[in-house]
Structure 1
Amino acid sequence: MSTAQPDLDRFDHAILRILSSEGRISAVELARRIGLSKSPTQARMKRLEELGVITGYRAGLDPIKMGQAHVAFVEVKLSDTREAALQAFNKAVLTVPEVEQCHMIASRFDYLLKVRTADIQAYRRVLAERISALPHVTSTSTYVAMESVKESPI
């Protein structure tokens, strides 16, 4: 798969916008809404999948109804930021299921994690037993989300 950005026209963007919020829409309805017939719409979807623009189709889940209402953002500072240390951290953080997102940051800290748990007690355990034990972690700072104003899957 190429890393070059593919050329996307207005129909491609319309397909992506609709599918990102309505992944179970039928090809016929999608075609109607973007103003093409079914066959070209399906061909475009297949092309977008082959290009890696569409990476899959997933069910949107409500974390609150699943008992995962607590969200914390965690700044993580590492003791070593050489490539081997970064790779060790990256590999290990993938094994922590409560970490919903992990981003390397150009700042006074090295990583920003989005962590989702049932409550503050569960978060405290995850922080102490899993996040703080990740390779090269020297310090963390936690920010608890009080309300989610916008969360989009892109």
Structure 2
Amino acid sequence: MLSRLGFPQPFLSLNLFLVWQVLNDGVSGASVVMGLILAWLLPRLTSNFWPERPALVKGWLLPMYILRVLWDIVVASVAVARLVLSPRKPRPVFISYPLSLEHPLAITMLASTISLTPGTVSADVSDDNRILLIHALDAEDEQEVIDTIRQRYEKPLQEIFQ
């Protein structure tokens, strides 16, 4: 409904309106009118900078993906803490991860997920969006890291976006 009223980014517009009201330290007629103008005008002025919206084929899987990532962050945090506190030296490695995702937002979500999980960092994406360079703090087998990322993160993102 909001997109029919000329709000190209409805959630952004809502957030802009709410932030404007909070910054004004109270709700008045003038602040509501100005908030609506800003909520309509700013997304319209910046619409050329927004990437195309991906089609969420199975958007209902996104909350489960987020819960999985949060759980993995907790588990990886404990593993990294154990590694840091143990006398064993880590085995750092750079891994070239072959991507099967195609949409830029899905690739960004995968790279962000990898970077959010302690012990791994996304270092670079190839120019053709086919290879993701990942640094792992401690890995015995590169293929095991690739298989884990593919099963836990990339396949769910493919289901959600493609």
Which structure dedicates a bigger proportion of its chain to helix? 2
TM-score normalised per structure 1: 0.35
TM-score normalised per structure 2: 0.33
Higher gyration radius (CA):
2
Which structure dedicates a bigger proportion of its chain to strand? 1
